[in-house]
Each structure stands twice: as structure tokens, then as C-alpha cells.
């Protein structure tokens, strides 16, 4: 997930950036409409957070231009409520609207909400007799529900969504615990053990790739 922050005030951009970092959302920034357009042309953003009142090219004009070649979602930041009516009059395809001063938490939540609509609603993945539902966070083994803890679920989900990919322990840690987590490599083994046990007869679908890590490969 990647967003573009467009605002002429450094202070505002910095606040937003702080919160995006916490959420591990990637971002770029622009301080006026022209910069924004250039960036959108060369990057693939899921969402653009656009201030309206800016020197050089204002947000309103920038959105109009951007919408011609990008289908990124747009959240407008605006100081005054009146602007809403003005904007809604034009059919700019604005996806959400936040007034300044805003709660960063709210902005983040709206970014997520707006981007989620973009994602596929289908959250079910299955390979052979193993089926996971990421919405309910449940695992069915031959249509029987088996309880997985949070980490165990994240692990089987990672494998199921990337079959035949050999993951290093490092990669698994980055994916599930996050980049900054320092975990003992033996810890991964322990979790693999637990997941294998829960997979029952599909235990050996999680293959050891000696010297590397693990991979998921389904076999009858």
C-alpha cells in the first residue's frame, strides 16, 4: 500500500508521515499540484491525500488532471467545511473528505477504509483440503474447522497465498512480525512445528528447504 501526501505545509506532511510509518504504509510527498501530477505519472499510488489550498497548482485542479490517467483514490484535506459543497458540485471523483484540523488517527482510518474498497473482497484461499478465510480467520482442514492461533494463522496464510515459494526464516519474520523484529531463527521452527501438527495429514505440505527455510507445496 502506497500513498501520496500533497500539502504545502511541511508540518502537516510530517504529522501524516509519522502515522503512516507506524502503520507501515509507504508514502511519497509533494508540496504542490505540479509535483503531485509528476509523481502520480511515475508511481502507482493506492491513495492520494490532497490539500486544496496550495500555491502554484491548487488541489482542485490537480485532482482534475490526475483523474485523467490514474484511478488512485483521493482523500481531500480542507480547512473549511464550505469547500465540501463546492467540491461535491464538481464531479471530481473524490472518495473521502477530511477537514482541518484533523485527527491523524481518523485520517489513517479513512485511508485504510478507502483503500480497502479497492482490494478484492474475496478473502478465501484454498489448496486441496486446506482452506483459509482471512475475514473470519478460520482454517478448514477437509471441511473441519481447526483452531489456529494468531501467529499460526498468519503462517499458514502466508504459505497458502504463496505456494511453492521457498521462504527464508528472515522473510517469514519480516512478513509476520515486521521488519524491525529480532527473532531467534529457532523460533520459526517451533511455529512451523505447531502449524504442521495442526495440518494433520497435510503435515508434510510444509516442506523444509534445508539451509534456506520452508515452503508450502501441496501433494496428494
Partner DNA sequence: CAAAAATATGAAAAGTTTATGAAATTATAT
Partner DNA sequence: ATATAATTTCATAAACTTTTCATATTTTTG
Rounded distance between C-alpha atoms, residue 144 and residue 75, angstroms: 43
Residue from the set 8, 183, 215, 218 that interacts with DNA by CB under 7 A: 183
Q: Which stretch binds DNA (CB under 7 A): 18-26, 71-79, 84-92, 178-186?
A: 178-186
Dist. CA 117–CA 123, nearest whole Å: 13
Closest separation between CB of residue 151 and its own copies, Å? 8
Helices (H), 136-177: 150-161, 169-176
Q: Which stretch binds its own copies (CB under 8 A): 8-16, 25-33, 80-88, 164-172?
A: 164-172
Q: Rounded CA gap, 51 and 30, in Å?
A: 10
Among 58, 134, 174, 189, binds DNA (CB under 7 A): 189
Q: Is 177 in the site for DNA (CB under 7 A)?
A: yes
Least spacing, CB of residue 70 vs its own copies, in Å: 25
Q: Which listed residue (37, 40, 48, 192) binds DNA by CB under 7 A?
A: 192
Burial of 135 (0-12, 13-18, 19+ CB in 10 A): exposed
Question: What is the C-alpha to C-alpha distance for residues 203 and 195, in angstroms, rounded to an integer?
Answer: 8
Q: For residue 160, what are the CA distances in angstroms to 136, 141, 144, 156, 204?
A: 16, 13, 17, 6, 14
Contact indicator for 173, 183 with CB cutoff of 8 Å: yes
Residue 92: name its binding partner from DNA, its own copies, none (Cβ under 5 to 8 Å by kind).
none
Q: Taking the complex as a whole, how short is the minimal distance between the CB of residue 164 and its own copies, in angstroms? A: 4
- How is residue 93 annotated by DSSP? -
Nearer to its own copies, 18 or 106 (CB): 106
Distance CA 40, CA 34 (A): 10
- DSSP, res 24: T
Within residues 180-219, the interface with its own copies by CB under 8 A covers 180, 182, 209-212, 215, 217
Region binding DNA by CB under 7 A among candidate stretches 10-18, 25-33, 61-69, 185-193: 185-193
DSSP state of 190: H
- Check binding of 209 to DNA (CB under 7 A): yes
Contact call for residue 152 and DNA (CB under 7 A): yes
Residue 201 binds to DNA (criterion: CB under 7 A):
no
Q: In this complex, which beta carbon is closest to DNA, that of residue 117 or of residue 186?
A: 186
**CA–CA dist 145, 151 (Å, integer):** 17
Residues that bind DNA (CB under 7 A): 147, 149-152, 177, 183-187, 189-194, 196, 208-213
Amino acid at each position: 500500500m502506497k500513498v501520496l501526501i500533497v500539502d504545502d505545509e511541511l508540518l502537516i506532511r510530517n504529522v501524516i508521515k509519522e502515522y503512516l510509518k507506524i502503520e507501515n504504509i509507504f508514502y511519497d510527498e509533494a508540496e504542490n499540484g505540479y509535483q503531485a501530477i509528476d509523481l502520480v505519472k511515475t508511481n502507482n499510488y493506492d491513495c492520494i491525500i490532497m490539500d486544496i489550498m496550495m500555491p502554484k497548482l491548487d488541489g482542485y485542479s490537480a485532482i482534475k488532471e490526475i483523474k485523467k490517467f490514474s484511478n488512485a483514490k483521493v482523500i481531500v484535506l480542507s480547512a473549511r467545511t464550505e469547500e465540501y459543497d463546492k467540491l461535491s458540485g464538481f464531479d471530481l471523483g473524490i472518495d473521502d473528505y477530511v477537514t482541518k484540523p484533523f485527527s491523524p488517527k481518523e485520517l489513517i482510518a479513512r485511508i485504510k477504509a478507502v483503500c480497502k474498497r479497492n482490494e478484492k473482497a474475496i478473502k478465501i484461499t484454498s489448496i486441496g483440503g486446506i482452506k483459509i478465510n482471512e475475514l473470519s480467520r478460520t482454517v478448514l482442514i477437509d471441511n473441519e474447522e481447526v483452531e489456529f492461533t494468531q501467529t499460526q494463522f498468519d503462517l499458514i496464510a502466508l504459505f497458502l497465498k504463496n505456494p511453492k515459494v521457498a521462504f527464508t526464516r528472515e522473510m517469514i519474520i519480516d512478513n509476520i512480525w515486521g521488519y524491525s523484529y529480532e527473532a531467534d531463527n529457532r523460533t520459526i521452527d517451533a511455529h512451523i512445528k505447531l502449524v504442521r501438527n495442526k495440518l494433520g495429514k497435510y503435515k508434510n505440505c510444509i516442506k523444509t528447504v534445508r539451509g534456506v527455510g520452508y515452503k508450502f507445496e501441496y501433494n496428494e
